[in-house]
Amino acid sequence: MSLRRIGFAIVLAVGLTLVPFAGEVPQSGKVYRVAVLGLQPAQLAVPFIHALREGLRDLDYVENRNLVLDYLTADGRPERMPEVAAEAVRWGYDVIVTSTNEVTAVDSDVETQDEPR
């Protein structure tokens, strides 16, 4: 699958996740925190992150205005993906996106502030 198709699929998924908040964006001033989990080091994920930023910008989510986008990496070590995912949950991101199927399980005992919607 091409990076463009993967990027589109991720943007679509994130966009659909953020749609319920769309009415709030101009009024609330809330800054949404999005974690992008990746297996590769950040420098190798640049095209994917760029596509995600563009797609979110099209939905009026703009970094440094109403969006914080963080890339959390397992540095090429698939066995670290569950740990990285658990960190993202603990840190309380509004949305967690992954571009890999290496996230196989996250400890269900990880505490969160809110229940999933």
Average pLDDT of every residue of the chain: 76
Of 27-31, 83-87, 106-110, the poorest mean pLDDT is in: 106-110
Cβ atoms of 11 and 51 closer than 8 Å: yes
3-state secondary structure of 42: helix
Residue 103 has pLDDT above 60, yes or no: no
- DSSP assignment letter at 114: S
Summarised one tens digit per residue, pLDDT across range 14-67 is: 555 655 555 444 446 889 999 999 988 888 888 989 999 999 999 999 999 999
What is the predicted pLDDT for the residue at 78?
87
pLDDT tens-place string over residues 65-79: 999 999 999 998 988
> Residues near 93 by Cβ (< 8 Å), separated by ≥ 6?
33, 34, 35, 70
Sign of CA dihedral 53, 92, 109, 13: negative
More confident residue, 83 or 110: 83
pLDDT at 105: 46
